[in-house]
Structure 1
Amino acid sequence: MPVKIGGSYVSEAAVSFAKAQAEEGNKDSDVIKNLKEKFPNVNFTVGTKPFSGTGTNNVSISSKILKQMENDPEKRLEYEALIYDIANTDLAQGRKLKSGGFIIGDDGGLRAWSVSEHNDGNGRNIANLNKKNKKSWLDEMLVNTAKKKKSSPLKEAREKLLEKAKAKAEEKKSAAILDISSEGKALALSETSENISFKNTDELSKYLFQIFDVVKGGMTKISAKYLKDCVKDEKKMQSLFNNLSAADATLKARQKEVGFQGMRVKIDENGEVSMESSKSTVGFNGEKLKRQMAAAATKGDMKAVLALIEEDIKTLEDGFKNNMCDAAEVEKAKDLLAEAKEKMAKLPDRAPTPEEQSVMAVNMAI
């Protein structure tokens, strides 16, 4: 949608870009140098003479306009927005151009020039584009092009450009609302929360889902009434952000603990927060298994112990996958299994005596 800035109609993407750039360098007296830094793919010259320069990315600017840009921040914003549209325009439009470019004249008007190849020689063309028309100059060019060609690469490029600009604007809005530090603390940025708003609880909920892990992970339950209050009340919204940020920090710290299985965060209608976490671990009784290994007097007895150790190893491996034990615990069980196999190789392959059987039964039971 065309946006009026100064005396010109330009694209929304151009306005967003120019505003962002103006904040960075609006006091730079060397306007051309500043423009070259912001638009590195454009060849800038001072003057209003057409058919000068090679390539199709030439922009000539009147010295009067440059002076206005130097002294007037609004004029700088207007013409940088205009240049943004120019820089993202395919002047060729499918034609075989040898060179081409744009001219911003003394009156701020925009002209386009080109030198194209024809079978009968080179052709020169210059067009005046009315930048004060309610349709932006870029829209006007698209309309003229559409008369010659049903499908316009420029129109498609412009649509993609606008989509990217809108996406970047949304990212900037999110970044301006809250920054989460490495410690998990919520830090308000320089842009005040007066400029931050959500139309409804759905919009706020989507934002919370994108930013906070405890929300994204389905671990948080927030009162519907409190969410509505946050949409209307800036302080409550900031308090909500701070509490969820603290919950994220807790989650991050607890996730490193063996046995941590999750947490629940509840925020009631008054904004009061309660958190609870769950923990579950698995392990094996190494000392008991060692006693059973010591009591085994035959290969048959040790085989029974081996079966118990193998069962424990499977449980530990499953537990390790679910953060219910660490790798060291699994290795201990595997080392014990290797020791039991080594010992079984040395035991006799016979039936146990009544006394051996009694000792083994006691150690298997306790």
Structure 2
Amino acid sequence: MTSTLPTPNGTPTRRSCPFAPPAELIALRNERPVSRMIYPDGHEGWLVTGYSAVRAVLADVRFSSRPELLRSPVSIVADRERPQHPTPGIITQFDPPEHTRYRRLLTGQFTVRRMNQLTPRIEQITEEHLDAMEKAGPPVDLVQAFALPIPSLVICELLGVPYDRREEFQHNSRVLFDLTSATEQVRSAVDGLERFLRELVAHKRAEPDDDLLSGLLATGELTDEELANIGLVLLVAGHETTANMLALGAFALLQHPEQLALLHADPDLAGNAVEELLRHLSIVHIGPIRTAVADIEVEGQLIRAGESVTVSVPGANWDPERFPQPDRLDITRRATGHVAFGHGVHQCLGQQLARVEMRVGYPALLRRFPGLRLAVSPADVPLRTEMAIYGVHQLPVAW
């Protein structure tokens, strides 16, 4: 089967259910987990939707992440200028051994032990925002009152970023993740973020503190440009992803009252619930993208050097060969092995931090507001189908 993914922006984002992958992806995976795909620029590449095939591609370093080799599956993004080389410090754009150097420096900053040490502060931040919600009274937008500020504040404290600058970096982050942003808007957003981080690195060099950026600076192994761009990636990814999981996960639980009741009755299920929500919702709904640098066989299909491959995280996480009845949200399911955080050398560095924030956030929200409910019809909740990270733009709730 060949897919041209004929939707308005060139990607399969039409959904019949806000929590399910597009039906086209499911049909493609069921017929053939590695399918030919015509990219918006005419490039003949591949769409990989099966669980084992997705893991094979992401684990094989012969599939490159270098931006000058990649083709975008999104028509609007494909019309923009393609980078000619990776940007120093943007770890996602490098292959080993360059990627290995960055990864080594960052891995020690995101250990399970260190993330668990942050738990009391995350609990405090969460309770403070729930206090403010309770004081404001219903209805509130759960995105602005809860889901967005908590991970934003946490990543700011971890990196040593002034939280009072949040509107600036959150705006630029939204532009970067908006697939409909014009080239000029993207360039302006990148310039703004780079300027912000360069100023911050200069400040940390003059006055180091007990934060992640100061710690990386102290290694002496990174230039200011590399450090600023590492900070950019961590800042943007660190709040966008978890914020959308917190909001979309709350929406999913409210639409599955039996699952919400289970979690409310047994907060110890939070860890299991987080993994199942990550699998079920798969907010990285477009990509990752790789390009073969050698002829590689995946699931019996030969992918030739130079051909780009778009990996479908939702397709893999809803593969019944790995997760029986994948369309069923079941917070008692053992959903370990999902690829919501990727797989292989580029697996998400901040996954343990995200897990802690969600394990704290969901039970705290339900404990404080046991009567939490949507304040609008489910059909009126605006979905982020035009964004690189899926979720909801707003989630009006009452209690």
TM-score with structure 1 setting the length:
0.19
Task: Select the structure with the greater relative contact order (CA < 8 A; seq sep ≥ 6).
Answer: 2
Question: Which structure: larger Rg?
Answer: 1
**Bigger proportion of residues as strand:** 1
TM-score with structure 2 setting the length:
0.18
